[in-house]
Structures are given as C-alpha cells and as structure tokens.
C-alpha cells in the first residue's frame, strides 16, 4: 500500500547523512538508509540513481549550508576577524560531520565521479580559505609568495581536520594553534 510521503527527499537526506557520517560509505547499506528514512528500499531508487549517487548528493548538500555560512562571514565580517571566524566555523562544522569530512583528505579509493564531486567541494572550501587568508595577510601587512600561499591554504584546511581528529575536546586551543601557525608564517 503505497503512501505519499511528505518531504521525502529531505527525510532521505537526513537519514543518509547521519548514517554516512557515523559509519562511512562502505558500512552503510541501502536497507539501513531506507529503514532510517521510514520508506522502502525501492523508493530510494526513485530519488537517487544508486548508492554512490545518493552518497554524493548527501555529501554535496551537507556542505552547502556550511558554504553559505562561510560566505556570510566573507561578506560581513571585518577584515581582522575574517580568518579566525572562518576557521572557527569550519572547525565546528567539520567537528559535527567527522565521518564525511574524512573523505576530503583521503584521495584514493574513490572512483572517478566520486572523486570529482569531492574535489569540487574541497575546492569551494579552499577558495573561501584562500580569500580569508588574503584578507588576513593584507590586514597584517604580510608578504607571501604564491607557492607558500597555496600550501598555507591547504595547511589551514588539513589542520582543521587533523586537530579535530586528534584533540577533539579542545576546540579553543586547537583554533589558537591553527591561527598561531598561520600568523607565524606571515611574519
């Protein structure tokens, strides 16, 4: 007895997001997603071509909100605070979605398309970081060559992830450390 489900796409998203975040791609199966959503397996396939594409869609969506927050900061925060605010927000967001963030540093084992989406996502984040870094650099009146800046951007990014993984109860110190590492490179 088919039922019409309201806001089904969102429900699927929520269920899948939670599962993928907690367990990782390989340890989630479609039945789990269906169960958690409260729908039948087949219904999943009305909304997503296959498991991979479901995963990808979750991945993309899950970051959109974050991207918006970051943009908000870029638009409205004052120069001197942009970088630290951006790092703080990114830290918090990543903290909340550990499992799914891992994918952003792993490079292998993702086949072509999966890779593409993830890279696109990563780039979006890196672009924001770069922008904020530029502002910060200007604000501090510092000079960095192109090569160094490129690396610095990535460094900030992975630092956020790594500090999250390694010292997860110490947000304050972690962020200070990251800022410190950036600032000292800008002297």
Partner DNA sequence: TATGAATGAGCCTTCATTCAT
Partner DNA sequence: AATGAATGAAGGCTCATTCAT
Q: Which residues contact 20 (CB under 8 A, 6 or more apart)?
A: 28, 55, 58, 59, 99, 100
Question: Which is closer to DNA, CB of 12 or CB of 70?
Answer: 12
Is the Cβ–Cβ distance between 117 and 60 less than 8 Å?
yes
Question: Which is closer to DNA, CB of 51 or CB of 122?
Answer: 51
Question: Which of 99, 114, 115, 119 contacts a copy of itself by CB under 8 A?
Answer: 99
- Of 91, 90, 120, 118, nearest to 105 by C-alpha is 118
52-71 footprint of DNA as x/- string (CB under 7 A) = x-------------------
Question: Which is closer to a copy of itself, CB of 75 or CB of 147?
Answer: 147
Phi, psi of 134 (to 5 degrees): -60, -50
As given in the structure block, the two tokens for residue 56 are 């990808």
Question: Which of 5, 9, 22, 138 contacts a copy of itself by CB under 8 A?
Answer: 22
| Residue burial 90-120, b: 16+ Cβ < 10 Å; e: rest | bbebbbebebbbebbeeeeebeeebeebbee
Contact residues: DNA, CB under 7 A: 1-5, 8, 28-31, 39-43, 45-47, 49-52
Contact residues: a copy of itself, CB under 8 A: 22-24, 26-27, 98-99, 102, 105-109, 147-148, 150-151, 154-155, 158-159, 161-163, 165-167, 170, 173-174, 177, 180-181, 184-185, 187
């Amino acid at each position: 007895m088919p039922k019409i489900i309201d806001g089904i796409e969102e429900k699927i998203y929520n269920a899948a997001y939670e599962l993928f975040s907690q367990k990782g791609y390989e340890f989630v199966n479609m039945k789990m997603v269906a169960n958690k959503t409260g729908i039948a397996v087949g219904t999943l396939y009305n909304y997503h071509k296959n498991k991979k594409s479901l995963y990808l869609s979750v991945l993309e969506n899950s970051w959109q909100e974050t991207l918006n927050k970051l943009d908000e900061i870029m638009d409205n925060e004052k120069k001197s605070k942009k970088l630290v605010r951006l790092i703080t927000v990114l830290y918090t967001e990543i903290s909340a979605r550990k499992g799914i963030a891992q994918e952003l540093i792993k490079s292998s084992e993702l086949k072509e398309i999966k890779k593409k989406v993830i890279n696109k996502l990563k780039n979006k984040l890196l672009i924001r970081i770069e922008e904020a870094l530029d502002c910060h650099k200007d604000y501090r009146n510092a000079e960095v060559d192109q090569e160094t800046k490129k690396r610095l951007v990535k460094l900030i990014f992975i630092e956020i992830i790594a500090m999250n993984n390694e010292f997860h109860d110490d947000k304050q110190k972690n962020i200070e450390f990251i800022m410190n590492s950036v600032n000292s490179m800008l002297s």
